[in-house]
Amino acid sequence: MMRASEGVLSGQSIAYFSMEIGLLSEIPTYSGGLGVLAGDTIRSAADLNIPLVGVSLLSNRGYFRQTLDSQGGQTEHGVLWEPSKFMSPLPEEVKVKLGAREVKLRAWLYPCKSHTGSSVPVIFLDTNLEENHEEDRGICDYLYGGDESYRFKQELVLGIGGVRMLEALGFSIRKYHMNEGHSSLLALELLRQNGTNISEVRKRCIFTTHTPVEAGHDKFDYKLVESLIPEREDLKILKKLGGEEKLNMSLFALNLSAYINGVTKQHSRISQQLFPGYQIQAITNGVHSYTWTSPFFRELYDRYLPGWANEPELLVRADGIPDDEIWAAHRNAKKALIDYVNQGTGVGMDYETLTLGFARRMTEYKRPAFIFSELERLRKINEKGKLQLIFAGKAHPKDEAGKQLIREIFGYMEELKAEMKIVFLENYDMELASRMVAGVDLWLNTPQRPFEASGTSGMKAAHNGVINFSVLDGWWIEGWIEGVNGWAIGPEPDEPLSEEECRACEINDLYNKLYYIIVPTYYKRRDEWFKLMNNSISMIAYYFNSHRMMRRYVTQAYL
Ligand SMILES: *Cc1c(COP(=O)(O)O)cnc(C)c1O
């Protein structure tokens, strides 16, 4: 049997802990942006030969597969997948105490291979062993499923089990990187091993926060915590470093990490206000260039900018690629998407019409129905120059407001049926994301500020010459140059407007820019449109990629 620590990773590694990791569309161990970012992190680490090992949970039943009825009602289905098709079980076993019971864990190894020949091991923890109590066998079944107690058990398995498993596998870990607070119990295990030497543990921990609102941070009742971690010494430390009232996983991570960062510049500033007294740095997210570039653009970049995949900075010279070749590559990607849409839904979209895409988690702050705010204005635009809209996205099983938003969009689809082709595609996943970010003309993003910590799908779009039209939140604040590489919806971040004024400004921008700028540019001034496509590549993709991001993590956090 293979050993996880063999190969490139002799010597010391960085352990990268994440509740979700998106490696392949067929491996359902991710739900959305956080997991896809973790996957891109690992893919870039493999390309760049960074000694890193990923740690996550197996998610035996995945997140869920989404189906939608004719009214947009969502049904969630457990995913049955065969881990052995993609990864191999390792012989090592470790134990974690959950209250009075000991739970045995094993690990599955997925080697994430790079085209450069190197690879990064990813360890998926699994409690589904015969020796375990029936209840404990399912701890790693559902990503973000179950109740608070289920979640805390998962976090115990991930944090404490993860550290122990890496040791059992023979890894020598220099730094522990927590991707979001879910894994911060790893620091408790390190404290136990270090005789509670806080400064020693801090030196070894890195924490990346992803949540710009207080309520978004995982918190657990001490009643629950005590039932699963009864040791008095542990509880004392948890209360001291994770909060007296409730165990706040982010606070625990903040207190035990010497390096802390947010995922965009704005998000770091907001996190700094949320957690005064901590030094919060910024490393802006990126996406894995090769993964998120369609085959049509890969071929084009290979010809004009050889080496781009491992050195995405080269995309800065996209101005040397002739417009007609960029347009031809885009037309191919668009045709592939439209054919896919038409085959799946029979809606009859065409290749010429200006096509807008919106796909992300369906949840309130993302405001997926924002484009339907004033139907009369949307109709006017559609009379001036035809529009097609393609939506996708899952709502978390417990997010009733998110589910309602899908039904709302279906309502608008029905209402506009005679005038406009609109579809909502089921089961948004990495594969569908790849098709959509490459195949539409305009990538729409209308979050409620300042809740979008980063957002990454717009960066994927830019890699395919697709133009961003977005609220100035998250990464777009750093990427946007008005009318040069895309368009903003609403005010600049530092304009002192009330929530109402802000919304009014966003609605005006949304419709006015579509009517007066975007539609005429697409239909009448194609040369200008080409320039914006080209600038998306040379001014956005060249920078907002995970190779640049990982080089930052190496020089600022890992070394
Ligand atoms: C990229 C991606 C996301 C994140 O998109 P945002 O713009 O950050 O919301 C979510 N889900 C999937 C499947 C993705 O590929």
pLDDT digits (tens, 9 = 90+) for 360-393: 999 999 999 999 999 999 999 999 999 999 999 9
| CB of 36 shorter than 6 A to ligand 1 | yes
CA distance 549 to 461: 18
Closest C-alpha to ligand 1, atom 9: 360
- Confidence at residue 11, expressed as pLDDT on a 0 to 100 scale: 64
* Distance of CA 400 from the midpoint of ligand 1 (Å): 20
CA distance 429 to 64: 10
CA distance 36 to 177: 16
| CB of 33 shorter than 6 A to ligand 1 | yes
Angle between the N-to-C axes of helices 430-439 and 33-47, in degrees from 0 to 180, rounded to the nearest 10: 90
- Confidence at residue 235, expressed as pLDDT on a 0 to 100 scale: 97
CB crowding 400-414: b at 16 or more within 10 Å, else e: eebbbbbbebbebbe
CATH of the domain at 334: 3.40.50.2000
Question: Residue 223 domain-assigned?
Answer: yes
pLDDT grade for 9, boundaries at 50, 70 and 90: very low
Over 70: is that where the pLDDT of 304 sits? yes
Question: Residue 213 domain-assigned?
Answer: yes
What percentage of the chain reaches a pLDDT higher than 90? 96
pLDDT digits (tens, 9 = 90+) for 178-195: 999 999 999 999 999 999
pLDDT grade for 419, boundaries at 50, 70 and 90: very high
Over 60: is that where the pLDDT of 4 sits? no
Length of the chain measured in residues: 559
Task: Provide the residue range defining the domain that includes 476.
Answer: 322-543
pLDDT digits (tens, 9 = 90+) for 469-504: 999 999 999 999 999 999 999 999 989 899 999 999
Domain count across the chain: 2
Q: Are residues 534 and 553 in the same domain?
A: no
Q: Which atom of ligand 1 is nearest to the CA of 30?
A: 13
Q: Are residues 278 and 181 in the same domain?
A: yes
* Distance of CA 40 from the midpoint of ligand 1 (Å): 12
Residues 11-33 have a mean pLDDT of 95
| CB of 186 shorter than 6 A to ligand 1 | no
Q: What is the mean pLDDT of the chain?
A: 96
| 369, 444 contact by CB (below 8 A) | no
275: which residues sit within 8 A by CB, 6+ positions away?
250, 251, 254
Integer angstrom CA distances of residue 334 from 136, 315, 327, 330, 399: 47, 21, 10, 6, 32
**Amino acid identity for residue 541 in this structure:** A
Q: Are residues 327 and 274 in the same domain?
A: no
Over 80: is that where the pLDDT of 52 sits? yes
Residues 59-71 have a mean pLDDT of 97
Question: Residue 134 domain-assigned?
Answer: yes
Closest C-alpha to ligand 1, atom 11: 32
Calculate the CA 478 to chain-centre distance. 18
Q: Are residues 553 and 539 in the same domain?
A: no
Nearest 5°: phi and psi at 557?
-115, -40
* Distance of CA 5 from the midpoint of ligand 1 (Å): 31
Q: Are residues 458 and 335 in the same domain?
A: yes
CA distance 488 to 429: 26
pLDDT digits (tens, 9 = 90+) for 105-164: 999 999 999 999 999 999 999 999 999 999 999 999 999 999 999 999 999 999 999 999
CA distance 24 to 176: 24
Q: Are residues 187 and 235 in the same domain?
A: yes
Closest C-alpha to ligand 1, atom 15: 430
31: which residues sit within 8 A by CB, 6+ positions away?
20, 63, 143, 144, 361, 394, 396
Among 6-20, 186-200, 280-294, 504-518, the minimum mean pLDDT is found in 6-20
- Confidence at residue 23, expressed as pLDDT on a 0 to 100 scale: 98
Q: Are residues 455 and 332 in the same domain?
A: yes
Sign of the torsion formed by the C-alpha atoms of 238, 244, 248 and 250: negative
Closest C-alpha to ligand 1, atom 3: 33
Q: Are residues 496 and 404 in the same domain?
A: yes
Question: Residue 293 domain-assigned?
Answer: no
246: three-class secondary structure by DSSP: strand
Q: Among 329, 347, 450, 448, which Cα is nearest to 390's?
A: 347
Dig out the tokens for 554 from the structure.
Answer: 């190496």
Over 50: is that where the pLDDT of 95 sits? yes
Q: Are residues 516 and 488 in the same domain?
A: yes
Question: Residue 5 domain-assigned?
Answer: no
CA distance 458 to 5: 36
Higher pLDDT, 1 or 425: 425
Residues 453-472 have a mean pLDDT of 98
Q: Are residues 436 and 407 in the same domain?
A: yes
| CB of 162 shorter than 6 A to ligand 1 | no
Q: Among 525, 528, 536, 512, which Cα is nearest to 440's?
A: 536
Q: Are residues 266 and 356 in the same domain?
A: no
pLDDT grade for 5, boundaries at 50, 70 and 90: very low
Question: Residue 376 domain-assigned?
Answer: yes
First to last CA, the chain: 32
Question: Residue 302 domain-assigned?
Answer: no
CA distance 35 to 179: 9
- Confidence at residue 216, expressed as pLDDT on a 0 to 100 scale: 84
Over 80: is that where the pLDDT of 332 sits? yes
Dig out the tokens for 417 from the structure.
Answer: 């049926």
Q: Are residues 539 and 554 in the same domain?
A: no
